[in-house]
Amino acid sequence: MSFKLNLHDPLGALTAWDSSTPLAPCDWRGVVCTNNRVTELRLPRLQLSGRLTDQLANLRMLRKFSIRSNFFNGTIPSSLSKCALLRSVFLQYNLFSGGFPAEFGNLTNLHVLNVAENRLSGVISGDLPSSLKYLDLSSNAFSGQIPRSIVNMTQLQVVNLSFNRFGGEIPASFGELQELQHLWLDHNVLEGTLPSALANCSSLVHLSVEGNALQGVIPAAIGALTNLQVISLSQNGLSGSVPYSMFCNVSSHAPSLRIVQLGFNAFTDIVKPQTATCFSALQVLDIQHNQIRGEFPLWLTGVSTLSVLDFSVNHFSGQIPSGIGNLSGLQELRMSNNSFHGEIPLEIKNCASISVIDFEGNRLTGEIPSFLGYMRGLKRLSLGGNRFSGTVPASLGNLLELEILNLEDNGLNGTLPLELMGLGNLTVMELGGNKLSGEVPTGIGNLSRLEILNLSANSLSGIIPSSLGNLFKLTTLDLSKQNLSGELPFELSGLPNLQVIALQENKLSGNVPEGFSSLVGLRYLNLSSNGFSGQIPSNYGFLRSLVSLSLSDNHITGLVPSDLGNCSDLETLEVRSNALSGHIPADLSRLSNLQELDLGRNNLTGEIPDEISSCSALESLRLNSNHLSGPIPESLSELSNLTTLDLSSNNLSGVIPANLSSITGLMSLNVSSNNLEGKIPSLLGSRFNSSSVFANNSGLCGKPLARHCKDTEKKDKMKRLILFIAVAASGAVLLTLCCCFYIFSLLRWRKRLKDRASGEKKTSPARVSSAGSGGRGSSENGGPKLVMFNNKITLAETIEATRQFDEENVLSRTRYGLVFKACYNDGMVLSIRRLSNGSLDENMFRKEAESLGKVRHRNLTVLRGYYAGPPDMRLLVYDYMPNGNLATLLQEASHQDGHVLNWPMRHLIALGIARGLAFLHSSSIIHGDVKPQSVLFDADFEAHLSDFGLDRLTVAASAEASTSTLVGTLGYIAPEAVLTGEATKESDVYSFGIVLLEILTGKKPVMFTEDEDIVKWVKKQLQRGQITELLEPGLLELDPESSEWEEFLLGVKVGLLCTAPDPRDRPTMSDIVFMLEGCRVGPDIPSSADPTSQPSPA
């Protein structure tokens, strides 16, 4: 029982452990007894946590102890060593820490010891039990040398010391363990050579020493072990020749080696078998990433059992032998990055089971064989980086299981076969660097699983097909260096997983696409060397994951957006050779990861901002060929990583800062063609001794220019003297002023101190108390109060204003109670929410109401007052919203003869809701039930989000509305909230996304069937290109060529982002506000008295 008392048992697995049971403890779960003595304690996978107690030592008859796969922590108690009869201990997959108990060496009957996957550390100092047959210390942090006591374990069969920090050499004494079958020493820091004594382990079946620092050669005798099936020595520093015993058994014994893994070493040769006979059972041969030279070993083509052959990244040469066709069971053939030449042999088609062919990075020639298209099991075909010519075989369209197709960097010509557009399982298509012509097929949109599309550096022409918008899994799109023209299809902005867009060096036109700002995962965007115009969208600042932005060599005008300073991951910003104007924004200084900034060849003006020195990672700064003026900032010397600085062809003036020479890594400097003056700093002049670096500055002198600086030096001395006198005089005047100000301030402070002391004596305590309590509301002789934060209204007036809470005054019914219209005698109108039964007690209610009254935002319904008193009455007072709610407005707008909401007003409504909800989230308040009925409109038709914070004022919500759940309303509730019953910020975002889609499309989420919801319907219309199906009647007149059309689609995409199935993929409300604000290209439309084209629905 003391063992149980120390544990946390979340599953209640040990609930039945009761000392009062008839056979306790022998009838308890996990306890096994013999002759009423506990012999086994087995408690695996029960989520138990806590520390092991020393009381376990009292179980003197214990033979088996298993608590694997739990959460036990602390140290392993050494008292366990007193259980002298223990035969097996299973402590793996826990959180034990500390060292290994030296006392365990006393367990002379222990056969199995497993402490893998814990947090044990230190050197194993004591002896391990000599009786062990199975020892597993893997995945801990043990250090020091491998325990020498292992040699005494003559019965040892399995040793696993992998994933620790054992160092030193592998003990040669391992060779004395005749019973050893499995030896794992992977991923330690072992060094030295592989002991040839291991060849004495005649029972060895599996030897793995991956990921260490072994040197030297492989002893040939090890490969000759008759029972050895697996040898893995990858990721070491082994060298020399690979002995043929790794592959062939030339003795009379049946071959046993099946898996040989020798990759990532420094082998230079494979020894050829001494006889023509090669008995082998080899299935996997992996010798990738070595330095092996010569031709393909022909004798390997006789090893018919081979299924995986990996010769990648070596120095093999010659032709690929036709004998590979003899390997009928071959599944993977990897020979990339070698020097094979010639053609692909026809006989490879005999390898009917093959799924991977990788010949990338060789010197293969000829045409790509059409027979490859009939090897139906192929999943990966990589032939890139060779010298193939001819066309892409149409037969490749038969490879319906193909996932990766890499034919890049060859000499292929012709058009893209339409047959390839039917490869539905394709995830990677790499065809760049060829001579392909024609257009990009529209059928490419059928490759729905495509993640990487690279068609760069070909001769493709025409437009980019809009069908690319169907590739929702696409992460990389590279269509660079072509002859593509026209504008970019807006559908590209709807690919949520895009990380790389490379479209440089084409003939594309139109404005820089603003829609890319919705691609929240975008990391690389390159549109340089095209014909793009317009301005750089300021909402690109929303691309927080952006690493590289290249817009150089276009016709872009306007300013450099200061919002780009929000792209905190940005490393490269290139916008040279455009027509940008204005100042260099100081906000760029927030780009702490920026390495390359190129603003050259524009029309920028103003000074170089001092703040640019905050870009501490900057390596290249190019501001040449602009109209910059002012001095070169001395703060540039703080850019310690700078290697390139080009400020040439500007209007810079003043002297060259001498401290620029402190940038030790500066390799390229150009300040020519400016108005600089003075002497060139001597260190800079000696480092950059070409006159072209400083040329065309009429006031500069000194080396490497031919002009001397004698007169200039005298002038400089005079200037310094005058400057010193001026500074000294100014300092004296400033000091005098400071002293006067100090004396004046001291006198005023003493006078205030006297006045304050005098005032405190004149103020009575009663008056202070009265002033602190008045002005908040009214009461009836000290009874329950209707507390108003501003106005003074009594409860009696409120009851009269609602006609005794008459049914005719009901404005709405919610799960939190009824909302009444209250018309007071002085003409004031308010909304009174009468909460249903089950509200909090009076004191708690007052506290929560006071807190809720402090939540104020122009897009929220603000609490104006409250009442709490008998008989269990709870009231909340709000401003009256005369123009109803969003649900009513959308319903009336859906009729052709009703009110038609235009796009600017729909945008303003959505933006208002988003701003209100973002404010709630910033105040750590979750709404929990965002829906159109919760959005109310004031007299100016400005949106106000209501019904927030009410769950804190009630014990349990009423169930008056059948469409409501405890965490939202059906149709608007997030899927995860349905399962967990818990509202979160992410579920609020989902609900807002549904409301946004309803505002934009006019479709209610309850209009759809079980198999289709509003999100799926919107995605379907986008995929089909049926954009007009999304338009509500009020939006049918949108011009597809106008900015409002693109703005509407951006709004739709924001709604889809909000409704992502995984809550982690949804943006925050502050991000949504940012996106919606960026949706409006035209001028903002202020909130008017009527958002419709007809009279107000109210």
Q: For the segment 759-781, what is each residue's pLDDT rounded down to a tens digit? A: 333 332 222 222 233 333 444 33
365, 371, 377, 380: CA torsion to nearest 10 = 20
List the 810-814 sheet strands across, edge first: 777-779, 785-788, 863-869, 873-879, 829-835, 817-823, 810-814
Q: CA 701 to CA 689: how far, in whole Å? A: 13
Interatomic CA distance for residues 281 and 302, integer angstroms: 11
> Distance between CA atoms of 108 and 84, rounded to whole angstroms?
7
Rounded Cα distance, 382 and 757, in Å: 89
Both structure tokens of 149: 């006591």
| Residue 1068: DSSP 8-state | P
Q: For 337-475, list the strands marked E by DSSP.
A: 339-342, 356-358, 363-364, 380-382, 404-406, 413-414, 428-430, 435-436, 452-454, 461-462
Q: Are the beta carbons of 402 and 396 closer than 8 angstroms?
A: yes
- CATH superfamily label, 293-306+313-364: Ribonuclease Inhibitor (3.80.10.10)
Place of tokens 């050669």: 217
- How many other β-carbons are positioned within 10 Å of the β-carbon of residue 1086? 9
Q: Count CB atoms within 10 A of the CB of residue 512.
A: 20
How much is the pLDDT for 775?
35
CA distances from 973 to 70, 397, 814, 966, 990 (A): 36, 44, 16, 10, 7
Separation CA 973–CA 980 (nearest Å): 12
Cβ atoms of residues 631 and 651 within 8 Å? no
Task: Give the chain's residues under pLDDT 70.
Answer: 1, 250-255, 276-277, 710-785, 789-790, 837-840, 870-871, 895-900, 954-967, 1010, 1025, 1033-1042, 1080-1098
pLDDT of amino acid 706: 85
Name residue, tokens 């080696």: 257
Query: Which H or E run includes 725?
Result: helix 710-762
Task: Please give the full DSSP string across 996-1036, using - where no structure is assigned.
Answer: HHHHHH---GGGS-TT--HHHHHHHHHHHT-GGGG--GGGT
Residue 796 neighbours by CB distance under 10 Å: 11
Give the span between the Cα atoms of 573 and 623, in whole angstroms.
Answer: 12
CA distance 670 to 624: 9
Question: How many C-alpha atoms does 861 have within 13 Å on its Cβ side?
Answer: 26
**Position 974, amino acid:** A
**Full DSSP string of 585-648:** PGGGGG-TT--EEE--SSEE-SBPPGGGGG-TT--EEE--SS--EEPPPGGGGG-TT--EEE--
Architecture of domain 776-879: 2-Layer Sandwich (3.30)
Residue environment code for 575-614, b if the CB has 16+ CB neighbours within 10 A, otherwise e: bbbbebeeebbebbbbbeebbbbbbbbbebeeebbebbbb
Q: Distance (Å, rounded) from C-alpha 203 to C-alpha 624?
A: 73
CATH of domain 182-291: 3.80.10.10
For 99, 125, 175, 825, the CA distances from 122, given in Å and listed in that order, are: 6, 9, 26, 83
Cβ-in-10-Å burial (0-12, 13-18, 19+) of 784 comes to: middle
Vertex 281 angle, CA 278 and 285, to 5°: 95
Q: Which helix (H) or strand (E) holds 1053?
A: helix 1043-1058
Phi/psi for 1087 (5° steps) reads: -70, 115
One fold for 182-291 and 293-306+313-364: yes
Q: What is the pLDDT of residue 1029?
A: 77
- ∠ CA 441-443-447, nearest 5°, is 120
Contacts of 825 (CB under 8 A, 6+ apart): 797, 800, 801
Closest-CA residue to 564 (of 584, 578, 534, 579): 584
Radius of gyration in angstroms for the set of CA atoms belonging to the chain, rounded to a whole number:
39
For position 771, what pLDDT does the model report? 29
Q: Is 195 helix (H, G, I), strand (E, B) or coil?
A: coil
Q: Which residues contact 542 (CB under 8 A, 6 or more apart)?
A: 517, 518, 520, 563, 566, 1071, 1074, 1075, 1078
C-alpha 804/C-alpha 1031 separation (Å) is 46
Which uninterrupted H or E stretch holds 694?
none
The two tokens of residue 1077 are 């604000």
CA distance 816 to 820: 13
Inter-residue contact 903 to 1035 (CB < 8 Å): yes
Residue type, 194: L
Domain 886-1079 architecture:
Orthogonal Bundle (1.10)
pTM of the model: 0.67
Report pLDDT digits (tens) over 382-404. Answer: 999 999 999 999 999 999 999 99
Q: Cis peptide before 704, with omega less than 30 degrees from 0?
A: yes
Distance CA 405, CA 379 (A): 8
* Domain assignments of the chain as residue spans, ordered by start: 182-291, 293-306+313-364, 776-879, 886-1079
Q: How far apart are CA 171 and CA 159, in angstroms?
A: 13
- The one-letter code for the residue type at 123 is V
CA distance 584 to 610: 11
Question: Distance (Å, rounded) from C-alpha 87 to C-alpha 402?
Answer: 52
Looking at 310, 929, 947, 988, which residue is catalytic?
Answer: 929
Closest-CA residue to 341 (of 387, 301, 376, 302) = 387
CA distance 877 to 1033: 37
Q: 310, 330, 215: which is closest to 260 by C-alpha?
A: 310
Dist. CA 147–CA 378, nearest whole Å: 48
Distance CA 10, CA 773 (A): 51
Residues 1004 and 1043: beta-carbon distance below 8 Å: no
- Eight-state DSSP code of residue 1092: B
Beta bridge partners of 158: 134, 182
- Rounded Cα distance between 518 and 364, Å, is 43
Query: How many CB atoms are closer than 10 A to CB 335?
Result: 24
Which tokens in the block code for residue 993? 């996304």
Number of H helices, E strands in the chain: 14, 66
Chain-wide mean pLDDT for the chain? 87
The encoded tokens of residue 965 equal 């759940």
**Contact residues for 341 (Cβ-Cβ < 8 A; gap 6+):** 317, 318, 319, 362, 363, 364, 365
Let me know if 929 is a catalytic residue: yes
